[in-house]
Amino acid sequence: MGLFLTLLYILTAYLGPETLWGPIAQFHIEIILAGLATIASLHGLQRSRFFTIPQTYALVGMCVAVFFSMLFTGWFGSIPGALLGFIPNAFCFFLVVVNFRTKRHLQFLIATFLIICLFTTARGYMALRAGNYLSPYLIAQGNDEGVSIYRLRGLAFINDPNDFAQVIVSLIPLIFFFRRKGSGLFNLLLLGPVSVLIYGMYLTHSRGGMVAMLAVVLFAFRRKIGTIPASIIAGVMFAVGNVLGWSGGRDVSAEAGAGRMEAWAVGLDLIKSHPIFGVGFQRFSEYFFITAHNTVIVCAAELGMFGLFWWVMFVLPTLRDAYVSSTGKTEKVIRDVDQPMPYEVAFAAQREPVAQLHWQPAGYTAQNTQDAIVATGSTSGMSLEEMENIPLHLQDEMETLELPPEEIQRIASLMLISLVGYFVAGWFLSRAYIMTLFIYGGMVQVIYQIALGRDLVPTRMNTWKIVKYSGIWSVGLILVVYLMLRIQHMMGIR
């Protein structure tokens, strides 16, 4: 139930309560869903080992940073609103980690995102075809020639074209979670939704989304065909995108991004004047006519270096866990799965209490179930009735035990590619606290937990290393922005 309510909550958050629930949205249905999802998730809290995950404490630190950012700027009355603006987004990390435990669960989540993107693209496309330029799914903007263009956007969390493009570009690699080995026709059909997503991103005319898509292609293909061929493909795609008018007649160059560079400079000035706790959560727009257009700058300017430290402490282990899961060892597990895996041994590997290994309902003999698993090394020899008599959480773990190590690495690689697209797009956007980041962070933890239970990856990073590297990267990222601004100044770009 917790899984279903989490999916429904995410669907409501991205499509907008009014879209999904109509008149009853006025009763704050999204808050009700979040509360129900939380209650339904509590029973799985201990099993998820949620409090052993470093990102959990990073999110607590970010909540504290949001509180202090408002407290030390004197906006006491805005503290509750700021926390309510941050916590529901970050809380999705908890919901995903606790309720999603298998590849199949992650596919449900990806399918939900796909529904969101396809629905939004369809509504925007129909509005364009009908000439309904007042549609909430379109926004007008002038290009470099002074001609108005209409850009596709969503509602709620994706009500900006760039935000919607960021979700799409990070979702495209995840579609291949559904790829089936040896099923060429089905895999070919996956290109259908991918094509629609690319077209939807084209309708956003997002320049940052275009750059992020090129980064995804480069990162995805460099292992298979090499860096140079992958770079050539990305370059050709860039040229084709310009010919097709991907940016909507707006220049894609350093000069065209001078306005954003100016926003970065303002952000650095705010960091200098409010270095520890920032100017306040979501208050950057009060100091400049546009947002910072950089995730790192907006986080450091609004929450200070204290807040940026906790943000990096969430991102750094997430990237590390995705990377080690995609490159982990397979030899030991491959050797094990070639032999029959007894019921007790299988779940001992998952660190289940011995009492649960011999669980059986009253009047039910588990010997047939155990014999089937011993004989086949999987659940394929079990009847539907036998499967139904096994607790759901043990069924989930049996499913993960059957997942080949190569498949775990493959989906981890797809998750890593998705994060590359997300963060490249985020370098040009001010979306440090958006729900998508925390959902993706939770998905990485699900994959990492699966790999860790199968002894495919090293243990978690040492706490001291996480703290040390987070501090270094926090300063390093600000330094990168500063150097980019200096180079812009030296080149005379205005």
User: Are residue 129 and residue 196 in the same domain, yes or no?
Assistant: yes
Whether 166 and 425 have beta carbons less than 8 Å apart is answered as yes
Tens digits of residue pLDDT in 151-193:
999 998 899 999 999 999 999 999 999 998 888 889 999 999 9
Boundaries of domain holding 26: 1-48
Q: Are residues 40 and 188 in the same domain?
A: no
Name the pTM for this structure.
Answer: 0.85
Residue 482 lies in a domain: yes
Cβ burial, residue 72 (10 Å; 0-12/13-18/19+): middle
Assess if residue 344 is contained within a domain: no
Q: Give yes or no: residues 134 and 9 share one domain.
A: no
Clarify whether residues 21 and 79 are in a common domain. Answer: no
Residue 257 has pLDDT above 70, yes or no: no
CB 412 within 8 A of CB 440: no
Q: Residue 288, class by beta-carbon neighbours within 10 Å (0-12 exposed, 13-18 middle, 19+ buried)?
A: middle
Average pLDDT over residues 255-261: 63
Task: Assess whether 87 and 30 both reside in one domain.
Answer: no
Q: In angstroms, what CA-CA distances link 392 with 31, 44, 375, 378, 480?
A: 27, 11, 22, 16, 48
Q: By the 8 A CB rule, do 128 and 199 touch?
A: no
- Tokens standing for 311? 């943000």
Residue 350 lies in a domain: no
Residue 176, C-beta contacts closer than 8 angstroms, at least 6 positions apart: 190, 414
Say if 120 falls within a structural domain: yes
Contacts of range 189-195, beta carbons closer than 8 Å, 24 or more positions apart: 193/114, 193/118
Query: What is the Cα Rg of the chain in Å?
Result: 24
Q: Does residue 364 fall inside a structural domain?
A: no
Q: Which of 42-51, 215-224, 338-347, 467-476 has the lowest mean pLDDT?
A: 338-347
Q: Are residues 167 and 217 in the same domain?
A: yes
Read off the pLDDT of each residue in 77-81 and give the average, rounded to a whole number.
85
pLDDT, tens digit, 9 for 90 and up, residues 293-345 = 899 999 999 999 999 999 999 999 999 999 999 987 544 443 344 444 443 34
Would you say residue 401 lies in a domain?
no
pLDDT computed for residue 172 by the predictor: 96
Q: Are residues 254 and 318 in the same domain?
A: yes
Domain contains 357: no
H helices of 131-226, where?
161-171, 184-189, 191-204, 207-225
Same domain membership, residue 17 and residue 132: no
Written as one letter, the residue type at 387 is M
Are residue 15 and residue 120 in the same domain, yes or no?
no
Structure confidence by residue, pLDDT tens digits, 448-486? 999 998 889 999 989 899 999 999 999 999 999 999 888
Q: Number of structural domains, the chain? A: 2
One domain for residues 36 and 66: no
Give the model's pLDDT for residue 383.
54
Task: Say if residues 278 and 270 touch (Cβ distance below 8 Å).
Answer: yes
Are 158 and 236 within one domain? yes
Task: Quote the CA–CA distance of 94 and 85 in Å, as a whole number.
Answer: 16
Same domain assignment for residues 113 and 21: no
